[in-house]
Amino acid sequence: MPSARVKRRRPRTRRISRRRRARQARFARFFQDAASAGVVVLTAMIGVAALLVHFARDLPSTDGLWAADAAPRITLLDIHGAPIAAHGLSRGLPVRLSDLPPHAAGAVLAVEDRNFRHHLGFNPLSLARATWVNVEAGEVRQGGSTITQQLAKNLFLAPDRTMKRKIQELLLALWLEIEFSKDEILTLYLNRVYFGAGAYGIDAASRRYFGKPARELEVGESAVLAGLLKAPSRLSPMRDPEGAGRRAGAVIDAMESAGFLTALEAARARRKPVRLAAARHAPAPYFVDRLLQDARALAGDVDADLIVQTSFDPAMQRALEDGLIAGIGAAALPQSAQAALVILDAEGAVRAMIGGRDYAESQFNRATQALRQPGSAFKPFVYLAALETGMSPAETVWDGPIAIGRWRPANYGGRYFGEVTLTEALAHSLNAATIRVQERVGRSAVRIAARAMGLPADTRGPALALGVDAVAPIDLAGAYVPLVNGGFRARVHSIDSISTMEGDVVWRRDPALGEAAASFSSIERLNRMLQAVVDSGTGAAAAIAGVKVAGKTGTTQDSRDAWFAGHAGGLVCVVWVGRDDDAPMPGVTGGTAPAIIWRESMRRALASRGPNAPAVSVVAPVLR
């Protein structure tokens, strides 16, 4: 029996020994794994620290954070030295958080950063959620940025979306949270954020949209402004009142949900209509945009308030605007068709400009940015080349079906006139005759003549004569300027000088004209031919009683573009009509709507100069 008990105890001893060894092995593996993990964590911490140091090395300076914006103010003066009522971006008076009604800040916090008072500059949950959404979508759809991060980005960083910029944004947000109180950060944000329509800061936005300072904002008005931050242009109440109203309603809902409004206050705000201030009409908005763009480019990096003397003539601008309205009415132009007009004087100075039918609807300046084929408005350069090579306006050319290789261009309407003079060919805009003139003098001669006048002409084929090289209306007008100044190429310009408020000249235009573009005799004969276009040809609708008018119609294939370019009384005016989508305009030719608009505009422009204005203006060239 005793021996049996001994046999039972031995296995138990062996089992205890095995358990102890297994436990010791597990402890050993644990300490080994912990040591390895510690090395990994330490290495990661060192890597993160090095990464942060790398991105922090070139963080932008935070000096002058509270200083007022130092961007130079640009004051534009018209041709008479009077200020133009548009000076680019506007910034309201700096406001303190305590000056604003509580709902003004509450509206912004409710939709932009509800947990602003509780985070340390960034919200990990929001960042994680935004990252997940963006990964799922395969594109950036959510930002996850707090107000502090937005402020850091707006104040110090470029708008590009890179990992480096995002990390720097987080570092700067942490710095802001350490250095400033929540109220100070929110104050900075409200004074610097962009609300659309050129308004930076809540006070500027309140004055722009509601005609009142920010301290007088009501709940609905605060909701409209807070709603703009998501998409300042698309949600602008000036552009889309209904969309802005729906967005404001969503903001009020968010304010109630977040506790910034009681249910009763929210209900009152929803019922009370928001009234917008009357829109302040900036004269010639397309022209002003161009002037500001040119002024900034010419002034360079000058850090000072600037006075810009321009060529803008308010009387001619009114004439152009009234003429466009009258011409559209007389021509019954379709609502979908756009228009661009520009007036230049004999020195190439832009006196008036319209870049579209409605600036509020589209800020795209078709007078300077739209590149369209000029069609037959290019033909004067073909005949100028012919005159320069010795041909006469009375010389004849055959107008009949023509084929050059596989190309068989036809006259408008398919009509041909047989033997015609150069004057008749231009007056009736005969394609076949014009191409024969071009082929006789040579395409290179036509290109040289057009370029000498200031117009690009790159086409090598026979279609060159029909105006297939796209140009902007302002460039075509510039190429017609030598027709009124005796044949000298002029630099198209809209600014004469730029100086600081203290009177220091920053930039001044050289008044010299360019080199001679063509001989005086050729210019004189071409002008007589262009007068025939209006007197007895396709441009009859552009005639002005008692005024010598010289010009040319232009119509491209399927009436996608229609032009009238011409001059009278020393002023060049170009009118373009077309659709932005390049769709055809059935029944519209250069001799219809553009010619009528040109007549109505130029009749008023010439009258605006008074009865003593010369009928023809030829300037004495100032050569280099």
Q: How far apart are CA 19 and CA 24, in angstroms?
A: 9
Looking at 241, 271, 301, the residue that finishes a domain is: 271
Q: How far apart are CA 123 and CA 188, in angstroms?
A: 20
Residue 572 near residue 481, CB atoms below 8 Å: yes
CATH number of the domain that residue 211 is part of:
1.10.3810.10
Residue 493 one-letter amino acid: H
| Bridge partner list, 83 | 77
Residue 114 in any domain: the answer is yes
Q: How far apart are CA 467 and CA 561, in angstroms?
A: 11
Which pLDDT value is given to residue 33? 60
Q: CA dist 420 to 350, 414, 532, Å?
A: 37, 16, 14
Which pLDDT value is given to residue 49? 45
How many C-alpha atoms does 45 have within 13 Å on its Cβ side?
Answer: 6
580 phi/psi in degrees, rounded to 5:
-65, -30
Supply the angle between the helices 314-331 and 593-608 in degrees, to the nearest 10: 150
Each residue of 422-443: pLDDT tens digit? Answer: 999 999 999 999 999 999 999 9
Residues of the chain with pLDDT under 70: 1-72, 85-93, 123-144, 156-166, 198, 278-282, 611-624
| Bridge partner list, 550 | 567
Q: How far apart are CA 534 and CA 542, in angstroms?
A: 6
Q: Find where tokens 């060159």 sit.
A: 464
Residue 457 in any domain: the answer is yes
256 lies in the same domain as 389 = no
Residue 452 in any domain: the answer is yes
Residue 333 near residue 577, CB atoms below 8 Å: yes
Q: How far apart are CA 516 and CA 527, in angstroms?
A: 16
The answer to whether 112 is a known catalytic residue is yes
Q: How far apart are CA 23 and CA 29, in angstroms?
A: 10
Q: Find where tokens 């309140």 sit.
A: 206
Which pair of tokens denotes residue 101?
A: 């009604």
Residue 347 in any domain: the answer is no
Residue 326 in any domain: the answer is no
Looking at 429, 447, 469, the residue that finishes a domain is: 469
Q: Find where tokens 């009928």 sit.
A: 615
Looking at 271, 300, 333, the residue that finishes a domain is: 271
Which pLDDT value is given to residue 362? 85
Which pair of tokens denotes residue 602?
A: 């130029």
Residue 474 in any domain: the answer is no
Which pLDDT value is given to residue 210? 92
**Number of neighbouring beta carbons within 10 Å of residue 276:** 15
Which pair of tokens denotes residue 356?
A: 């579209």
Q: How far apart are CA 284 and CA 312, in angstroms?
A: 9
Which pair of tokens denotes residue 459?
A: 């086409």
* Contact residues for 18 (Cβ-Cβ < 8 A; gap 6+): none
Nearest to 424 by CA among 345, 346, 538, 560: 538
What are the DSSP calls for 224-243, one per residue? HHHHHTT-TTTT-TTT-HHH
- Please give the helix or strand (H or E) that residue 91 lies within, else none: strand 90-91
Residue 316 near residue 352, CB atoms below 8 Å: yes
Which pLDDT value is given to residue 170? 76
Q: How far apart are CA 606 and CA 614, in angstroms?
A: 10
* Contact residues for 364 (Cβ-Cβ < 8 A; gap 6+): 355, 356, 370, 580
Residue 566 in any domain: the answer is no
Angle at 171 between CA 169 and CA 174, to 5 degrees: 110
Parallel, antiparallel or unpaired: strands 90-91 and 199-200: parallel
Q: How far apart are CA 471 and CA 161, in angstroms?
A: 35
Which pLDDT value is given to residue 92? 63
* Contact residues for 452 (Cβ-Cβ < 8 A; gap 6+): 489, 517, 518
Evaluated on CA atoms 528, 529, 530, 533, the torsion sign reads: positive
264 lies in the same domain as 397 = no
Which pLDDT value is given to residue 231? 84
The alpha carbons of the chain give a radius of gyration, in whole angstroms, of: 36
3-state secondary structure of 59: coil
Q: How far apart are CA 529 and CA 381, in angstroms?
A: 12
How far, in whole angstroms, is CA 493 from its chain's centroid? 19
90 phi/psi in degrees, rounded to 5:
-120, 145
**One of 376, 494, 601, 608 is an active-site residue; which one?**
376
Residue 145 in any domain: the answer is yes
Number of domain units in the chain: 2
What are the DSSP calls for 526-592, one per residue? HHHHHHHHHHHSTTGGG--TTS--EEEEEE-GGGSEEEEEEEETTEEEEEEEE-TT----TT--TTT
User: Over 373-418, what HEC string results?
Assistant: CCHHHHHHHHHHHHHHCCCCCCCEEEECCCCECCECCCCHHHCCCE
Q: CA dist 236 to 2, 177, 208, 255, 504, Å?
A: 101, 31, 11, 20, 39
CATH number of the domain that residue 439 is part of:
3.40.710.10
* Contact residues for 432 (Cβ-Cβ < 8 A; gap 6+): 398, 399, 400, 401, 402, 409, 410, 411, 416
Domain that holds residue 384: 377-469
Residue 167 one-letter amino acid: I
Q: How far apart are CA 491 and CA 511, in angstroms?
A: 9
